Amino acid sequence: MQTFTITPDLEAHLMKRRGMVHPFQRLDAAKSAFIVVDMQKYFMTNGEPGCTPPARDIVPNINRLAAEMRARGGLVVWIQTEAKAETPVDWANLYESYTPEAKAKRQSNLGKNGSGFPLWDALKVEAGDETVIKTRYSAFIQGSSNLDAVLKKHGIDTILIGGTVTNVCCESTARDGMMLGYRTVMVADCNAASNQENHQSSLAGFLSIFGDVQTTDQTIANLAKNSKKVAAE
């Protein structure tokens, strides 16, 4: 599994800037959402164009944190990317960097009926969870999805970000969420990138300016300090 290290230089920067390493140690599950980004077959299955094998390693942590959130009255949101094949072409500037073959495969496999659109089978999705479909890297950018409205409906002020890939859709969503006013935590070992360098640099950049980065264990401990278990029905 990919790791995240808070280097001495980063820690010194954080202490100078904010006087602490982790700004969001108060996590009230009732006002929090665990947003799981793009854990779809397109990004996890060998042979799919977007396959990121390290994403398979974070499935147990995602399931564990999702279960903890539900038990404490929090919200779990599953984000799925849909690649639309429309005329005129949706997101045409993106496809200027694709070959015609790569464009066709992305639109086919990541289309709503494509082989890569469904969530990975080992993820434990429950009936009370929300599912949001996005069409851009960030789920928050205008026109990408209704995520902001879903969170507002549930009274959410804090978001925990997991999924793949760390430095693209996860970071884009996390940064935009922070700039919309959400207290934002990227959960380090619930995120996966194509390689360790991208994972580390993405999380370090986010922690230095935008929000917090915690492990699954840290996040669960902070939830336990600040919220109560919901009695099972």
Predicted local distance difference test score (pLDDT) of residue 180: 98
Hey, which CATH number is domain 8-83+117-226, 3.50.50.60, 3.40.630.10, 3.40.50.850, 3.30.70.20? 3.40.50.850
Whether pTM > 0.85 for this model: the answer is yes
Q: Which residues pair with 131 in a beta bridge?
A: 78
Using one digit for the tens of pLDDT, what is the confidence trace for 13-50?
999 999 999 999 999 999 999 999 999 999 999 999 99
Contact 165, 52 (CB under 8 A): yes
Domain boundaries, the chain: 8-83+117-226
CA atoms within 13 A on the CB side of 64: 15
* Residue 86 pLDDT greater than 80, yes or no: no
Q: Give percent of the chain with pLDDT exceeding 90.
A: 90
Using one digit for the tens of pLDDT, what is the confidence trace for 73-82?
999 999 999 9
Q: Model confidence at 232, in pLDDT bands (50, 70, 90)?
A: low
